[in-house]
Amino acid sequence: MAKFAIACPKCGKYAEAKTGFFAGKKIDCSCGNTIHVRTDKMAVRKCPHCGNQVLYDQSKGKDALCPVCSEPINTLAEQQQAAEFFCGQCGVRLNTSVSASTYVCPVCDYENQVQERLTALKMRREGLAGIIKYEGDNETLVWKHPLEDFNFGSQLIVHESQEAVFFKDGQALDLFGAGRYLLETQQLPLFEKAFQLPTDTEGTFHSEIYYINLATQMGIKWGTDSKVRLFDPVTGLHLEIGASGEFNIRVSNSRKLLLKVIGTTDRFSQSQLFGDGNTKGFFRSMVITQVKSYLAQTIKEKAIPILEIDSELLSLSEALREKINASLAEYGLTMPEFFVSRVVTPDDDPNFCRMKEQYAQQYLSVREQQIRKSEAEAAAQRMEVEAVTAARMKMIGAQGEAEALKLKAQAEAEALKMQAEAEAMGMRMKGYTYQQETARQVGLEAMKNGLTGGGAGMSAIGELAGLGVGLGAVGSMAHLTKDAISPVLETVVQTGQAAVPPVSGAWTCACGAKSVTGNFCSNCGAKKPAPSLSWTCACGQTELTGNFCQNCGARKPE
């Protein structure tokens, strides 16, 4: 059974262990830590020959070789080589192996980064730092430079999304943004006012430099540690729900964060701020408490139904972000984004089941009312359409009857017109006008009724009217109206004795005397005009002097 030296993973001290089936599996170190031989025998050490961090088996003893340079890595000389440094929190002197990565102080339980402490000690022994820069990781929010004494003329390097703050006796002084700075008295105005600095540029000053990471820390998960009790704003039923999601955090005021949160801590990471799976974090309790309080309050204020809460996650997240940021601003922090990604409802709660039934009944009732309303509106529209259609059909029928009467009247008028034109053409063919024919018929009618030819023409017309023949009888013969017979009556009156056939050889003088039989007018003495040799054809051609019509070829009447 071989023996080998094994390093304690907590304090770095060596203890004796054995190999073999019956060897002890656990060893109690003097620091109080229990070494598990099978698991802790695998150690990480910096190779003293090539400088690489290598994983090796301590149970191999001096036969353990570096996989990079193949040199012995676990010799007795290496095991006995120890390094001395001071605890970063309490300042106690500590000893451990030079190849150890971390070492927990047995006095204050502070976890020291061994290589970082050794580097700071080496720099302090060899001289002051000439270049000051950030050496932390991306998840670190605040990092303190290990040195506290600096030369005037040193270069300060601040990366993008970083700020550097000088501290003296717990007081935040000058603040530097991204860039490269040469530390001179002109670059440290607040530092120079607060303390008496040496006048020579080669002097030194003692202070603490903190680097603050201004980059947004993404994807920090959160979730309520217990149910949130509230009343559904619609139904009033008591429910218990849970919520979870993520948020992003960013430093908004470096001085506030350093003064109120950091204190004398030389490193502050995201896990310390909000915790992780093993640690709770400084602000996690505050965030969860405010989420639980403001979640119920926001649901009540906005009257968000629990069954429809998924559709309001964006507005709910924004309302919670604004209220939580009001508390974080006192510590120099802010949440650019806050997301409620899930709300857990109590599916087995009787109140929740009852609420779902009420929602279902309410939805069905509203849907039924909507259907009835739609049906009633459709029926009203159908009735309105039918009424409009009936009115239009009635109007079309009335218009049709009127149009038929109009067409009938137009047909009758057209027939009368055609008959009148035919009669007029026949009279023109016979050689006399329509008025002459009418006057002749009136005279014949008067003679049938016993009217005499003596007296004036007007008395004859009066007697004709008195006989009851009237204009109706005359109009019925010629199918004329009163307006059509008026010219005929005038002709009768003008001719005087219209019913008496005209005297042969009588003529009418230009002075108005009619039925003159002599060669001279008895009224004015005018001479009888010579007879006209022209004649009018039945086709309407006038002023004809030959024996035949030039238009239709008809022979001149006798």
Mean pLDDT of 223-237: 83
What residues form DSSP beta bridges with 344?
242
Per-residue pLDDT at 10 = 76
Task: Kindly report the number of other CB atoms within 10 A of residue 375's CB atom.
Answer: 10
Per-residue pLDDT at 143 = 86
- 501 pLDDT tier (thresholds 50, 70, 90): low
Given a cut of 50, whether residue 479 has pLDDT beyond it is no
Q: Which of 400-409, 427-436, 497-506 has the lowest mean pLDDT?
A: 497-506
Per-residue pLDDT at 337 = 92
What residues form DSSP beta bridges with 186?
none
Given a cut of 50, whether residue 457 has pLDDT beyond it is no
- Measure the CA–CA gap between 493 and 487, rounded to whole angstroms: 10
Given a cut of 70, whether residue 489 has pLDDT beyond it is no
Q: Which of 167-181, 197-211, 250-264, 542-556 has the lowest mean pLDDT?
A: 197-211
- Measure the CA–CA gap between 449 and 460, rounded to whole angstroms: 11
Per-chain mean pLDDT for the chain: 75
Per-residue pLDDT at 110 = 82
Per-residue pLDDT at 454 = 44
Given a cut of 80, whether residue 415 has pLDDT beyond it is yes
Per-residue pLDDT at 200 = 40
Q: Which of 310-314, 345-349, 377-381, 501-505 has the lowest mean pLDDT?
A: 501-505
**Residue 476 phi/psi, 5° resolution?**
-70, -30
- Measure the CA–CA gap between 337 and 418, rounded to whole angstroms: 99
**Distances 158 to 131, 168, 209, 261 between C-alpha atoms, Å:** 11, 19, 11, 22
- 468 pLDDT tier (thresholds 50, 70, 90): very low
Given a cut of 70, whether residue 486 has pLDDT beyond it is no
Residue 260 is given by DSSP the state I
Mean pLDDT of 407-417: 83
- Measure the CA–CA gap between 478 and 481, rounded to whole angstroms: 9
Mean pLDDT of 75-84: 63
Q: Quick check: 458 and 493 in contact, CB under 8 A? A: yes
Q: Which of 5-14, 280-289, 425-434 has the lowest mean pLDDT?
A: 425-434
Per-residue pLDDT at 339 = 92
What residues form DSSP beta bridges with 429?
none
- What is 217-346's CATH topology? Tetrahydropterin Synthase; Chain A (3.30.479)
Per-residue pLDDT at 202 = 44
Of residues 392 and 247, the one with the higher pLDDT is 247
Mean pLDDT of 516-545: 80
Given a cut of 60, whether residue 424 has pLDDT beyond it is yes
Per-position b or e across 7-27, b if 16+ CB within 10 A of its CB: bbbbbbbbeebeeeeeeeeeb
The CA R_g of the chain, rounded to the nearest whole Å, is 66
Report which secondary-structure segment, H or E, holds 466. helix 457-466
Of residues 533 and 107, the one with the higher pLDDT is 107
Please give the structure tokens belonging to residue 526.
């005018």
Mean pLDDT of 176-180: 87
Residues contacting residue 527 through CB under 8 Å, at least 6 positions apart = 519, 520, 521
Given a cut of 80, whether residue 280 has pLDDT beyond it is no
Of residues 211 and 400, the one with the higher pLDDT is 211
What are 196-217's pLDDT values in tens digits? 544 443 456 677 888 888 888 8
Per-residue pLDDT at 338 = 92
Of residues 263 and 538, the one with the higher pLDDT is 538
Task: Kindly report the number of other CB atoms within 10 A of residue 312's CB atom.
Answer: 17
| Residue-range domain boundaries for the chain | 217-346, 432-495
Identify which of 284, 278, 288, 301 has the alpha carbon closest to the alpha carbon of residue 243: 288
Per-residue pLDDT at 474 = 41
Is residue 518 classed exposed, middle or buried when 0-12, 13-18 and 19+ CB atoms within 10 A define those classes? exposed
Of residues 180 and 531, the one with the higher pLDDT is 180
Mean pLDDT of 117-142: 72
* DSSP secondary structure letters along 16-56: EEE-STTS-SEEE-TTSPEEEHHHHTEEEEE-TTT--EEEE
Mean pLDDT of 230-240: 82
Residue written as token pair 């529209």: 381
* DSSP secondary structure letters along 482-505: HHHHHHHHHHHHHHSSSSSPPPTT
